[in-house]
Each structure stands twice: as C-alpha cells, then as structure tokens.
Structure 1
Amino acid sequence: MNKGGFSWKKLSGYSAAKSNVSRKIGIPLTKSGRNQKIGKIVTKGCLGIFIAISLPVLLLLLLIFKLK
C-alpha cells in the first residue's frame, strides 16, 4: 500500500478514470470492493438470502433433469 509517496497512476489520471468508470457502471473494479458489494446483497434482506439458498437447489434440479 502506498503511504504518501509518488504515484504514476495518480499523476497520469488512471486512478480518477478508474473510479469514475466504477461509479458509472455501479460495479466496483477491485476484488475486495466486489466481495463487499456481494456480501451486502446476500446479508441484507430476504432476496439475497433466498437467492443464496435457492441457487444450489436450482443447480441440482438442472443436473437431475439434464441426466434424464
């Protein structure tokens, strides 16, 4: 992690462009940001919990019907 030193990415405008793109598309571009967003969706509200529980069941049903 940078502790206040010089950054070519910041000087070139790469960091600002990346954060602007991330805000416009609504999806974080960093791995930790994506994980935090998914974690909030799953733990916040019934829809996330329903998806987390029903997804494995749905995949199992698809495998069963595909084998027949």
Structure 2
Amino acid sequence: MAKKSSFKIPGLSFSWKRALGITSAKRKIAKATGIPTTKAGRQRKAGKLLGIK
C-alpha cells in the first residue's frame, strides 16, 4: 500500500469552506446575533449566563 505524501509547502493551505464563503457567512451571523457558531463558544456563553465558571 502506497504511503500518502506528507509534503507541504509552508504557508500554503486550502480550505474549501473558506473558498465557498462559509467561514465569512458564519462570522457575519455570529456578529449579528451575538451567538457563537462553534460548540465551545456556545458552551462558554451559556456558562457565563448561568454563572458557571
């Protein structure tokens, strides 16, 4: 079985979500509503509202 090449060019990466504009759309929604789009962000916000560290 052939090994997958781990050759990477430093500083060069590709994100299909970023290319499609999903990242910026999620950011705009989060800024407009004040609700984070990540699971950790939502948990952190809920913890602050409930007074949990």
TM-score by length of 1: 0.51
> Which of the two has greater helix per residue?
1
Q: What is the root-mean-square deviation in Å for CA atoms of aligned residues?
A: 1.8
| Equivalent position of 2:19 in the other structure | 11
Q: Deviations over 1:8-39 (max 9, x none)?
A: 11112110011101110111122111100011
Identity of aligned residues (%): 41
1:1-68 to structure 2, matched below 5 A, reads 5-43=13-51
Q: List alignment gaps of at least 5 residues for structure 1.
A: 45-68
Q: Which of structures 1 and 2 has the bigger CA Rg?
A: 1
TM-score by length of 2: 0.63
